[in-house]
Structure 1
Amino acid sequence: MADSPLWKVDFHMHSRYSHDSSTKLEDLAAAARRLGLDRIALTDHNTAEGSLLLHEQEPELVIAGEEVKTTEGEVIGLFITRGLKSWQRPEAVMDEIHELGGLVYIPHPFDRWRANFAPHRLVALADRVDVIEGYNQWADPGANQAATEIARELGKPVGFGSDAHSIAELGHSWLEVEPFEGPADLLLKLGRATGHRTEVSGTQRRA
């Protein structure tokens, strides 16, 4: 593995299975390859239908995921095998993700424009959290900085996600990480990953 090229991975994006995106699954996969992404996590809002379908079609490209609303902030499950229950307490959602063998990924935790977690709640939930998104291209720079800082304080790896809702938004932020096989291997290697972006976050705020 040491001689293998690093993979470009985007951990957060949406398709037409989200209420606020019209991106077709086949277009998303084609665009990801065109942009040189080696793995993408499809994380539609409150449904895993599209991600499970695309993972079945493109198992070497797609990580099945879902971005689910809890009674507090939003939580992403990565490497899931079925849909998650929404509007539960975050502890219940996180436990469900782990029961499915997945990883708990916290997106845009401090973005004031979206459902988020209070810092003390992230600390309290730390034992259930695997990855904290330190860069989201739609979050304000201050929110991203705060997310990165709390990830480091809690000893959690930092994730990068484009949070793309269209093809044009894809490929603007990603992690470069050693090739991995499954969630446990990814978690081991995320600590050595490096984040990349093409622009300053929050400069093209989504409505």
Structure 2
Amino acid sequence: MLTCDLHVHTNFSKDGESSVEEILRQAEAVGLDVIAITDHDCVDGAKKALAFKTSVLVIPGIEVSTKQGHLLVLGTTELIPAGLDVRETVQIARRMGAIVILPHPYHVWRHGVARRVRAAMNIVDAVEAFNSRYIVGSANRKAGRIADRLEKPCVGGSDAHNARFVGYGRTFVEAEPEIPAIFEAIRRGQVSCGGRKTPLRTYTRQSLNNTWRKLKRLTRRLRFR
């Protein structure tokens, strides 16, 4: 049984706070077997992680900002353009041979695709039914409930933006420690998930900082029009 965190950000994400080295060292410290580096619309962190000497198996990935919300694509070091329709993004990922996961599908203010596209769960390989960045957990429970009804595998991830929280969300996979075997096990539903909540004060601080950065970017764009 492999213990994995399939949703982690480094400081190659605009809102990430920790270096690739800090993320991987924490993954080792908390006993993870596998970690997926999934920076926002960027694969540079994943590429750097692959070159780093570590006992943890690194799955390169990307969290793509589609037209309808966020989508996790695991198993690629190729950049997928942001802003495309989610269905087109899934098709591109399939051609890459990647696995597609719907992250935080029902989280309010978290770019949840399933809140905008009713059939979103039908077009992905798995659903993130445990995301450690939550307030009351209802969105996680709803994702798990609907995924079960649709017979979609459920996975977990910390969605960590700081190394301290790597491993707070976990996926347990019955597979050999090889990426193809892990992907096949996920597709077959040979997985379970769980974890613990990112402290609310940290989640709130990170969310406010992210909102402030977006406002500053918008202000700069308006100023130079």
**TM-score normalised by length of structure 2:** 0.81
Q: Does 1:156 align with 2:152?
A: yes
For 1:187, the equivalent position in structure 2 comes to 184
Q: Does 1:101 align with 2:107?
A: no
Q: CA deviation at 1:203?
A: 4.1
Q: Does 1:55 align with 2:50?
A: yes
Distance 1:121-1:184 versus aligned 2 partners, 3 A rule: farther
Please identify, of 19-28 and 34-43, the stretch whose mean Cα deviation from structure 2 is larger: 19-28
Q: Percent identity?
A: 29
Q: Give the whole-Å Cα distance in 2 for the aligned partners of 1:36 and 1:149.
A: 29
> 2:129 is paired with a residue of what secondary structure?
strand
Distance 1:126-1:112 versus aligned 2 partners, 3 A rule: closer
**TM-score normalised by length of structure 1:** 0.87
Q: Does 1:66 align with 2:51?
A: no
AA at the equivalent of 1:109: P
> 1:12 is paired with a residue of what secondary structure?
strand
Q: Give the whole-Å Cα distance in 1 for the aligned partners of 2:199 and 2:93.
A: 29
Q: 1:141 aligns with which of 137, 156, 159?
A: 137
For 2:215, the equivalent position in structure 1 comes to none
Q: Give the whole-Å Cα distance in 2 for the aligned partners of 1:58 and 1:85.
A: 29
Residues matched between the structures, number: 200
Greater than 6 Å deviation, 4+ residue runs: none
Superposition map of 1:110-149 within 5 A: 110-118=106-114, 121-123=117-119, 125-139=120-134, 140-149=136-145
Q: CA deviation at 1:136?
A: 0.5
Q: CA deviation at 1:122?
A: 4.2
For residues 143-194 of structure 1, give each alpha carbon's deviation from its aligned partner in whole angstroms, at most 9, with x where no partner exists.
0011111211221110100000111111212122123333465333562322
Question: In 2, are the aligned partners of 1:46 and 1:66 still within 8 Å (CA)?
Answer: yes
Please identify, of 50-59 and 15-24, the stretch whose mean Cα deviation from structure 2 is larger: 50-59
> 1:92 is paired with a residue of what secondary structure?
helix
Q: Give the whole-Å Cα distance in 1 for the aligned partners of 2:66 and 2:60.
A: 19
Distance 1:109-1:191 versus aligned 2 partners, 3 A rule: same
Question: In 2, are the aligned partners of 1:103 and 1:183 still within 8 Å (CA)?
Answer: no
Question: In 1, are the aligned partners of 2:133 and 2:159 still within 8 Å (CA)?
Answer: yes
Please identify, of 114-123 and 44-53, the stretch whose mean Cα deviation from structure 2 is larger: 114-123
For 1:39, the equivalent position in structure 2 comes to 34
Q: Give the whole-Å Cα distance in 2 for the aligned partners of 1:46 and 1:161.
A: 18
Q: Give the whole-Å Cα distance in 2 for the aligned partners of 1:34 and 1:202.
A: 19
Question: In 2, are the aligned partners of 1:141 and 1:202 still within 8 Å (CA)?
Answer: no
Q: Give the whole-Å Cα distance in 2 for the aligned partners of 1:138 and 1:131.
A: 19
Structure 1 unmatched runs, 5+:
1-5
Q: CA deviation at 1:117?
A: 2.3
Question: In 2, are the aligned partners of 1:63 and 1:79 still within 8 Å (CA)?
Answer: yes
Tell me how large the CA RMSD over aligned residues is: 2.1
Q: CA deviation at 1:56?
A: 3.5
